[in-house]
Every structure is written in C-alpha cells, then in structure tokens.
Amino acid sequence: MELILRIFSDEHIFKYGTPVLYGSPKTFSFYKKMLGLEDILYHLIESAKDAQEGKLNLVVGSSDELQINPGESSEAAGKEALNCLNKALEDSNHIKALVTAPLDKQTVAHHHTGFSGHTGHIANYFGVDNYAMFLVSDELKVALATEHYPVSEVAENLSQSIITNKLEVIYNSLREDLNIIKPRIAVLGLNPHAGDNGLLGKEESEIIKPAIDQAFEKGKLVYGPYSADSFFGSGNYKSFDAVLAMYHDQGLIPFKSMAFYDGVNFTAGLPIIRTSPDHGTAYDLAGKGTAETLSMRNAIHDAIHFVKNRLQFIEDFSNPLPYTEFRRERFRIDF
C-alpha cells in the first residue's frame, strides 16, 4: 500500500489509465496518515466496471478486520493479499491489465495450499498451462524454463517439451506485447560450460539443443545453448532480444545485478497483461517512506504499454494481404 500511495499521489499518472485498487480502506487510511499524503483520496466502487476516469478507484478486498503492524508478517495480511488478488481476478473481464504488488508467499500459503507465488496462481485461474515468468528491463529480458524449484530438482523438471513451450510463449509475447516482430532468443545451458560436450552433463545435448533446433527449423531465431557465465560476462546478451534461463537464480542474478530497481516481472502467455515489481515485500523498509518506487512504477507503465502493443498487434495482423506466389518467366528476345 505504501508504494501504491506514493505512486498515485502524482496526479500525472491518471493521464495514462484508470486505476482500480483492490485493498483495504483501513490500510489505505493508515498509510496515508503515516506518509502524510492527506490529499490522496479514493473512489469506492463494487467492481472495476464501475471505475471512474481520473480517480483512484478502490474495491474492498474483504470485510475481515485487519491489524496493521508495518514491518511484521501475519497470517491475516496473507489472507487479505489473497482475497484482493482473487477479487481482481474475478473482475478480469472489466480490466485490461493486472499489476500485483509484492506479497509474502509464506503468509498466503497458510490460506491456500501449494501457493508458490502470484504467477502460478494467476495462470491456474485462467486455466493456462503454458506461460512464462519473464523479467524485463530496457537492458535485459530473461524468461525462466523452471521457476521455484530447489536447485537439486531443476534437472528432473526439465524436458524438451518444456523448453519448446517456453520458447513459443516468449517468442509470441515478444512479438505481440513488446512489439519485436522478429525476435532473437538465446538459450542458456544447464550445466557449467553448457555441459562441455557431455563431460559435465548431458542435458544440453539430450534436452536443450533438440528444442533449440526444433524452434529454429520453424523459422524462429533461437540460438544456444550458451554457457551462462561467459554469456553474461562477455556482454553477448546484448545481441539478443531475450534470454531463456534454465532455472531461477541463473536468470535472476544477472538480471537483478543490472536492473534491481527498475526491472519488471511480466507473466507472458496469459489472456490478460500482468506485471509486478521484481522485488519482494522488504519488511525492513515498511512504513519508513524510503522504499524505492521505480520498479512498481515501471510495472504500471509497462502494463499500459503492453496493452497498447497487444491491441496494435491485433490490428496490424488481423487482415493480412493474401499470399500469392510470384513466378518469374524467362523471355528470349531476338533482334
């Protein structure tokens, strides 16, 4: 709530879209007073379909009483976060983009068995199996083949079909959402030195390379597998529009080293645009008014930008000219 209030205290942001906040009026008032933002107001509505332009519209997540203790985790806060997320998903027919603020996975998991984060929960709601966690910034864009697995379980959860599906999702998303019509995608290896020709593992030759070849044969500019350390260390990533990493830290360590404050977490492959800041709850900063808002602000602006790109892509490719084969005949001319 602190990030949201600080961002929407700037009235210029209302020029780009109509915000609908899913949350608690009590939390809103608490942080407004704490941060000295008395001028910011909300317009209470039942659903996003009732949202008014030029105002910060508020849909109440639940009627539960909530004790607010900045900087402390609580099961009640986790329940409130889950209620707000579900309320927004129920409203998805009336909104064009969903921007999720950070939440504490452990507190939410007390109320939803198997909850491992926003991404999977949102994908399950829409019945989408093939999606990708996609971290984006101006400098680097990284998608993950596997997400929240222990490192010891990454290899057993990799397959050629998983990599093929992830490549399909990020390829389509780069075209439709980021307006990169002919994207170049790099794929990282799993093992040190990308397996070193089988000396350090066979996943590259048996799983990753066949998926790359299959995508390339279909006309996609997909290359690899690359050794992750030299790929980033040499700056080779600058030659590509996106990178597919095999596991969480392989992709997120270089990404957050370059874009910790301004990066955005984007879920590719959903019927709705969904973004989030690339950081967590930061309990140590809660209530102090010093937390960096740039990633959350970028998540909002990117969501708006991606919506416009997707609409433009649909318009541009909805009625293409029919393909006709051109045959060039040879003529002999005698003088």
187 in the same domain as 90: no
93 in the same domain as 200: no
Q: Tell me whether residue 312 is in a domain.
A: no
Q: Tell me whether residue 200 is in a domain.
A: yes
pLDDT 10s digits, 42-61:
999 999 999 999 999 999 98
Using an 8 Å Cβ cutoff, are 310 and 173 in contact? no
247 in the same domain as 228: yes
Nearest one of 256, 223, 218, 228 to 241, comparing CA atoms: 223
CATH number at residue 96: 3.40.718.10
Q: Tell me whether residue 196 is in a domain.
A: yes
Distances, alpha carbon 188 to alpha carbons 136, 215, 246, in Å: 17, 15, 7
Cα 184 to Cα 244: distance, rounded to the nearest angstrom: 11
228 in the same domain as 139: yes
Q: Tell me whether residue 258 is in a domain.
A: yes
Q: Tell me whether residue 293 is in a domain.
A: no
H-run or E-run covering 32: helix 25-35
Cα 101 to Cα 266: distance, rounded to the nearest angstrom: 12
100 in the same domain as 22: yes
pLDDT 10s digits, 9-22:
988 899 999 999 99
231 in the same domain as 113: no
155 in the same domain as 113: no
Predicted local distance difference test score (pLDDT) of residue 320: 67
Distances, alpha carbon 305 to alpha carbons 155, 259, 282, 301, 312, in Å: 36, 19, 27, 6, 11
pTM of the shown model: 0.87
239 in the same domain as 171: yes
Predicted local distance difference test score (pLDDT) of residue 6: 92
DSSP string, 78-137: HHHHHHHHHHHHHTGGG-SEEEPPP--HHHHHTTSTT---HHHHHHHHHT--S-EEEEE-
Q: Tell me whether residue 97 is in a domain.
A: yes
Last residue of a domain, one of 222, 238, 269: 269
227 in the same domain as 112: no
Q: Cis ω on the peptide bond leading into residue 254 (within 30° of 0)?
A: no
Predicted local distance difference test score (pLDDT) of residue 145: 95
Q: What is the tally of structural domains in the chain?
A: 2
209 in the same domain as 100: no
Q: Which residues of the chain have pLDDT under 50?
A: 326-335
Q: Tell me whether residue 70 is in a domain.
A: yes
Classify strands 132-136 and 141-144 as parallel, antiparallel or unpaired.
Answer: antiparallel
54 in the same domain as 112: yes
pLDDT 10s digits, 91-141:
999 999 999 998 888 888 877 777 777 888 899 999 999 999 999 999 999
Predicted local distance difference test score (pLDDT) of residue 322: 66
Tell me which residue range forms the domain holding 183: 129-269
CA 21, 23, 29, 32 torsion-angle sign: negative
160 in the same domain as 100: no
Question: What residues have CB less than 8 Å from 178, skipping those under 6 apart?
Answer: 136, 141, 241, 306, 309
Classify strands 132-136 and 242-245 as parallel, antiparallel or unpaired.
Answer: unpaired
- Burial class (CB within 10 angstroms; exposed 0-12, middle 13-18, buried 19+) of 320: exposed
Instruction: Find residue 267's DSSP bridge partners.
Output: 133
Last residue of a domain, one of 128, 151, 171: 128
Last residue of a domain, one of 72, 106, 128: 128
Q: Tell me whether residue 289 is in a domain.
A: no
